[in-house]
Amino acid sequence: MSNAERVAIVTGGSRGIGRQVVQQLAEEGYALVVNYADNKADADATMAALAGIGAKAISFQADVADENAVSAMFDAAEREFGGVDVVVNMAGVMPMGPLVDLDLDILDRTIRVNLRGAFVVTQQAARRVRAGGAIINTSSSITKFSRPGYAAYAAAKGGVEAMTLILARELRGRDITVNTVAPGPIGTELFLRGKDEETIARIAAEPPLGRMGVPQDVAPIVAFLAGPGRWINGQVVYANGGAI
């Protein structure tokens, strides 16, 4: 298949890293399903940008942890474009707080969105992605940094990594790759929220490259795994500028 015939679903595709992934895949010729949770304004802005470059795309509102909504999203992709070749799980939340004080409702929401959501979407992807396709999950380098305050987030992302490695082996013979991208700190609203300038400057200085990552650092890695990187399978790719 040429990229002009390939179809990608990107969850959390209306903002942050997800939006940049959508833009990158669109520029490479993919047809897109842009998933969003509840911010229709961001989704509309993303769709307008895609229309501006002549991309084939639809948006679809769905809670990634709701199996019926996710199934309907895959149905919509198949109706509109004939099938699905690439699924990128970018939807997520990032609560912070010491484990000892963390409200268990926050833990439950983190697990629901970041782990259950990735599981539900990946389950549909495993059933529906066509041969030659790719499933790409998103973890975080926080699983290696072990930075205080991220216990719930890191626990969910560690589960995503384990799920990815197992699924890659379960799909033996299907010609579908399954990988996880684990970014380090990326200067998105999700990461920067609640951090003061001193904290941001300290984190930005950690990588040998001497700066905070941006979504444009991550999207090409996802696009590589979605297409030409066929011999990378069952791996966690750490994208953090060398901070670990």
Judged on CB neighbours under 10 Å (0-12, 13-18, 19+), 112 is middle
223 compared with 146, residue with greater pLDDT: 223
Please check the confidence at residue 244 and state whether its pLDDT lies above 90: no
0.85 exceeded by pTM? yes
* Residue 148: predicted pLDDT: 93
Task: Classify residue 130 by its DSSP letter.
Answer: P
CATH number (3.40.640.10, 3.40.50.720, 3.90.230.10, 3.40.630.30) of 3-238 reads: 3.40.50.720
153 flagged as catalytic: yes
The tens digit of pLDDT for each residue in 141-179 reads 999 988 899 999 999 999 999 999 999 999 999 999 999
**What is the phi-psi region of residue 34: left when phi exceeds 0, alpha when psi lies from -120 to 50, beta otherwise?**
beta
**Catalytic one of 30, 36, 150, 153:** 153
Residues 6+ apart with CB under 8 A from 131: 174, 175, 176
Q: Mean pLDDT, the chain, as a whole number?
A: 95
Structure tokens at 118: 């990735």
DSSP reduced 3-state for 187: coil
Please check the confidence at residue 2 and state whether its pLDDT lies above 80: no
* Residue 1: predicted pLDDT: 62
Instruction: Return the domain boundaries, the chain.
Output: 3-238
Nearest residue to 94 via CA among 205, 16, 166, 193: 193
